[in-house]
Amino acid sequence: MRKLKVIGLLAVFVLLLVKCQKSAVFPAAQYDDRLSGGDETVFDATSQAFGNMFPNLAAYDTHVHILGDLTFNQTFVTAPAIIHGGLGPIYNNTACINCHHNDGIGLPTAGDQQSSLLMRISLPGVDAHGGPVAVPGYGLQLQDKAIYGKLPECNVNIVYTTQIITFADGSQIELRAPTYTLSNLYTPIAGTYLLSPRLAPPMIGLGLLEAIPESEIIANADPNDANNDGIKGHANYVWDAITQTRQLGRFGWKANTASVLTQVATAFNQDMGVTSSVLPVESSYGQSQYDGLHDDPELPDSLLNAVKFYAQTLCVPARRNTTDATVKRGEALFISAKCVNCHKQTFTTAVDVSRPYMSNQVIHPYTDMLVHDMGAGLADNRPDYLAGGQEWRTAPLWGLGLYTTVNSPGYFLHDGRARTITEAIMWHGGEAEASKATFQNMNSTDRDALLKFLQSL
C-alpha cells in the first residue's frame, strides 16, 4: 500500500512537470530568450496557455491559487444566496471567466452573455482626487444587465464603419471603426457625457507587472521628449481605494488602477455588483435598482484575496521559434522601426523575500507601463486621471501570438476593433505614427517577418 502511494505521488509530480515545466537552458552558452516570464514561464501553446499556475508555489500558495481559480470560474447568483451570492442588482456579467475567456481576451460585443466589452462613463472635469466625474444615476460604469424585477441602466449599441488601407507595395487591408450609442436609458442623463469602451484583457503575468519597481517604470518616462525621439510616455498616478493615497497606475487600458487587488475588487463591484471589504457599497446605491439589503460586504476576504492571488500567479507562455531566421529578422525590424521605444522588452522585478517566485525575475513583457498619445483614430476623448483622451497604456505584448489559439478568433486594442495584429498596428497614430508608417512602407517580405516575430511572443 505504501509503495502504491509513493507511485501515485510520483505520477502526480510527473503530470505537474509536463503541464507547467520549468525551462531548460537553450542554447547552453546564452540566456534563454524564450523565458518571457522568467522562472514563471510555461511551455504551453494550446488553448489553455493562459491558465497555468506559477510552477514554483509552495503547497499553501497552490491551494490559494486553486481556490481563486474556482471562484474566478464560478457563476454568481442573486442575494441572499449563502454561497456565491450578491450578483447585481445591476451588472455586466455573472462570472469573471465570462469576460476573460480562457483567462484571455473576450468578445467585443454588447448585451450577450459572452460579451467582454464594458462601457465607462463620466462627466467632463475631474473629481476631488483628480479622476473622472461620476454621472448621477450611473456612476462611472454602465451596467447593461439586471436581476429579475430591476431595470438595466441602458443598452449599448455598436456600429462599425470601414475603410481600406493601402500598403506601399499595393496590398490592402480593411480597418473597422466602432461608434457607440446608448439606448433605453432607465433615467435621462442631463448634459454631455463621455464614453469609453474597455475590452477584457488577458490575465497573464499580472503579478510580475505589479512586481516591477516603480523607479524602473518612471526611468522610461519622457513627458517632454528630452531625447527627441518623438515618444512622450508618462506615468498615470491614480487614487487607490485600498491605501487611500495617490499611487502609480499599472493596470487597465489607461493605467487607471494601482494594484491587482484593487482591479479584482473593482471588477467584482462594477462588473458583477458583488461588494467586498475594499468596495463595500453597491454600484447601484442611490439608484432605483438598489436592493436595500444589509448584506454587504457580500464577498468574503478569503475569496477576494484568493482571486487576487490567482490573478497574480498565472504563468506567461514561453516564446516560440526564437531561433528561426525569419523571426530574428522580424525582431530586428521591430527594433529598427522603433516599436521598442514604447514596447520595452525587458524589466527586472523587485527583490521580495516574501514572494520568491516573483523576486528578481528578468521578464520580457514588451511594455513600458506608461501612457502615450496614440492619435485621434484611437481616441476615446475621456481623460482618466493623468491619462488624456488620446492616451493609452502601452499594452504588454507577451502572449500576443497565442491570442487566436486561446481566444479564437482573437481581437486586439482596447475595444477589440482590430481583428488581426496587422490591423492593430495600422490603428497606431500619435507618438507611434512614424513606426506605423515604417511598417506601412515595408515590402510584404519584411512585414511578414515582423509579424512572424510578433506571433512568436
Q: Which domain holds residue 162?
A: 21-455
Greatest Cα-to-Cα distance within the chain, rounded to the nearest angstrom:
75
> Is residue 290 exposed (0-12), middle (13-18) or buried (19+ Cβ within 10 Å)?
middle
- Given a contact cutoff of 8 angstroms between Cβ atoms, the answer to whether 144 and 154 are in contact is yes
CA distance 89 to 269: 11
Handedness of CA 222, 223, 226, 228 (dihedral sign): positive
Q: Tell me which H or E stretch contains 307.
A: helix 301-312
State the Cα angle at 366 between 364 and 371, rounded to 5°.
Answer: 135
Asked if residue 173 is part of any domain, the answer here is: yes
pLDDT of residue 31: 67
Q: What is the CA radius of gyration of the chain?
A: 22
Q: Tell me if residue 327 falls in helix, strand or coil.
A: helix
Q: What secondary structure, in 3-state letters, does 221-258 show?
A: CCCCCCCCCCCCCECCEEEECCCCEEEECCECCCCCEC
Asked if residue 74 is part of any domain, the answer here is: yes
- Given a contact cutoff of 8 angstroms between Cβ atoms, the answer to whether 347 and 216 are in contact is yes
Q: What is the pLDDT of residues 402-436, one digit of tens each?
A: 999 999 889 999 999 999 999 999 999 999 999 99
Which residues, 6+ apart, have CB-to-CB distance to 324 below 8 Å? Answer: 452, 456
Domain count, the chain: 1
Q: What is the pLDDT of residues 267-303, one digit of tens each?
A: 999 999 999 999 999 999 999 999 999 899 999 999 9
Say which amino acid occupies 387. Answer: A
Asked if residue 181 is part of any domain, the answer here is: yes
Asked if residue 15 is part of any domain, the answer here is: no
Asked if residue 7 is part of any domain, the answer here is: no
Handedness of CA 395, 396, 400, 403 (dihedral sign): negative
pLDDT of residue 79: 83
State the Cα angle at 225 between 222 and 231, rounded to 5°.
Answer: 80
Asked if residue 216 is part of any domain, the answer here is: yes
CA distance 96 to 268: 8
- Given a contact cutoff of 8 angstroms between Cβ atoms, the answer to whether 89 and 146 are in contact is yes
Which residues, 6+ apart, have CB-to-CB distance to 170 below 8 Å? Answer: none
The answer to pTM > 0.85 is yes
Q: What is the pLDDT of residues 220-278, one digit of tens each?
A: 999 999 999 999 999 999 999 999 999 999 999 999 999 999 999 999 999 999 999 99
Question: Cα dist. 383→12, 173, 256, 396, 436 in Å?
Answer: 50, 31, 10, 21, 24
**pLDDT less than 50: residues of the chain:** 1-30
- Given a contact cutoff of 8 angstroms between Cβ atoms, the answer to whether 39 and 56 are in contact is yes
Asked if residue 10 is part of any domain, the answer here is: no
- The Cβ-side half-sphere exposure at 120, using a 13 Å CA radius, reads 25
